[in-house]
Amino acid sequence: MNRLARCLLAIVTPALAPLAVAEDNAPTLAIVYIEPNVGGASGGHIALRIDEEVYHFQRGGRERLELIREEWPCFEHSYAGLQNRSLLLARLELSPDVVQRIRDHLTLVYARQQEDTYRHERLVRDRAWLEGLAGVAPLPALPAAGLFTVSPTRGTGALRERVRQHFGNTFIEKRLRVAEAIIADLAASDGADLESYREALLEREALRAIDEGRAVAAEALLEIDAAPSLTDVELSSLVALERALEQATLALLNSSRPDRGQSLLVTLARWQVVGLSLERKRLILLDALPDDAASFSPEALGGASAVQGLAARAARVFTEVRQATLDGDLPDETHYNLLEEIATRYQELERGARGETMRHEPSRLLSARLVPARGRVVEGAVLKWDPEPRLLKLREELERSRQALATRYEYDLLARNCVTELVRAINDSFPDAAGAERALGERLEPGARWTFWPSVLFDRVATHWRVSSITLVPSYRRRELAHLYREEFPPLVYLREATTLTSTIYTPRAEDGAFLLFTDDAALLRPLYGAVNLAYGLMSALVGLPLSLFDDGERLSAGLNGAFYSLPELAFLNIRKGTFADVEAEPGSRGRRQDRAVPAQNPCGRAP
Amino acid sequence: MRSRRRFPLPLALVLPPLLSACMISESVSVSASQILGLASNSIKSISNSITGGGQAGAPRDIKAYAVLCAQENTNEVEFLRGIGRIARQHGITHWEAEPHLLVAAGEGLRSGGMSEDDMERFGARLAARDETTAQWVLQGYTLEGYGGRAQ
Tens-place pLDDT, residues A481-518? 999 999 999 999 999 999 999 999 999 988 899 999 99
A59: β partners: A65, B23
3-state secondary structure A122-187: HHHHHHHHHHHHHCCCCCCCECCHHHEEEEECCCCHHHHHHHHHHHCCCHHHHHHHHHHHHHHHHH
Instruction: Measure CB to CB from residue B2 to each of A115, A259, A415 and give the nearest one.
Output: A415
Q: Distances in Å between the alpha carbon of B150 and those of A169, A261, A438, B65, B110?
A: 50, 35, 20, 13, 8
pLDDT band at A27 (very low <50, low <70, confident <90, very high): very low
Neighbours of A19 (CB within 10 A): 10
Q: Which of A598, A31, A321, A364 is nearest to B88 (CA)?
A: A364
- Distance in angstroms between the alpha carbons of the first and the last residue of chain B: 27
**Chain A interface disruption, residue of B42, B62, B100, B135, most A CBs within 10 A:** B42
CA angle A64, A66, A68 (to 5 degrees): 145
For residues A4-25, give the mean pLDDT. Answer: 38
Which pLDDT score, from 0 to 100, does residue B24 have? 46
Instruction: Measure CB to CB from residue B89 to each of A368, A452, A579 and give the nearest one.
Output: A368
Chain A touched by B80 (CB under 8 Å):
yes
Distance CA A2, CA A493 (A): 33
Which pLDDT score, from 0 to 100, does residue A93 have? 92
Q: Are A52 and A72 in contact (CB under 8 A)?
A: yes
How much of chain A exceeds pLDDT 90, in percent?
Answer: 66
pLDDT by residue (tens digit) across A525-582?
Answer: 999 999 999 999 999 999 999 998 888 888 999 999 999 999 999 999 999 999 987 7
- CA A563 from chain centre, in angstroms, equals 32
pLDDT for residue A415 is more than 70: yes
Distance CA A45, CA A418 (A): 7
pLDDT for residue B22 is more than 60: no
Which pLDDT score, from 0 to 100, does residue A20 have? 36
Instruction: Measure CB to CB from residue A606 to each of B29, B34, B46 and give the nearest one.
Output: B46
Residue A555 DSSP SS3: helix
Instruction: Measure CB to CB from residue A44 to each of B21, B42, B92 and give the nearest one.
Output: B21
Q: Closest Cα of chain B to A489: distance in Å?
A: 32
Which pLDDT score, from 0 to 100, does residue A63 have? 76
Instruction: Measure CB to CB from residue B44 to each of A58, A71, A582 and give the nearest one.
Output: A71
Residue A59 DSSP SS3: strand
Chain A touched by B6 (CB under 8 Å):
no
pLDDT by residue (tens digit) across A63-107?
Answer: 789 999 988 888 888 899 889 999 999 999 999 999 999 999 999
Residue A49 DSSP SS3: strand
Sign of CA dihedral A349, A353, A359, A363: positive
List CB contacts of B86: < 8 A, sequence separation 6 or more.
A114, B58, B61, B62, B65
List CB contacts of A542: < 8 A, sequence separation 6 or more.
A559
Distance CA B107, CA B112 (A): 9
Which pLDDT score, from 0 to 100, does residue A306 have? 80
* CB burial of residue A541 (10 Å; 0-12, 13-18, 19+): buried
pLDDT for residue B21 is more than 80: no
Sign of CA dihedral A481, A483, A487, A490: positive
Residues 130-149 of B with CB under 8 A from A: 130, 133, 149
Neighbours of A384 (CB within 10 A): 10
**Chain B interface disruption, residue of A58, A59, A338, A341, most B CBs within 10 A:** A338
- Would the CB atoms of B46 and A317 count as touching at under 8 Å? yes
Q: Are B114 and B70 in contact (CB under 8 A)?
A: yes
pLDDT by residue (tens digit) across A360-385?
Answer: 877 666 678 899 999 999 988 778 88
Distance CA A323, CA A308 (A): 23
Secondary structure letter of residue A444 according to DSSP: P
Average pLDDT, chain A: 87
pLDDT for residue B9 is more than 50: no
Secondary structure letter of residue A340 according to DSSP: H
pLDDT for residue B33 is more than 90: no
Which pLDDT score, from 0 to 100, does residue B2 have? 42
Distance CA A143, CA A220 (A): 12
- Distance in angstroms between the alpha carbons of the first and the last residue of chain A: 38
Chain A touched by B75 (CB under 8 Å):
no
**ipTM for the whole predicted complex goes beyond 0.90:** no
HSE, side-chain direction, 13 A CA sphere, residue A41: 30
Residue of A nearest to B90 (CA): A369
Using an 8 Å CB-CB cutoff, list chain B residues near A317. Answer: 38, 42-43, 46
pLDDT band at A586 (very low <50, low <70, confident <90, very high): low
Neighbours of A29 (CB within 10 A): 20
Q: Which of A582, A603, A577, A585 is nearest to A35 (CA)?
A: A577
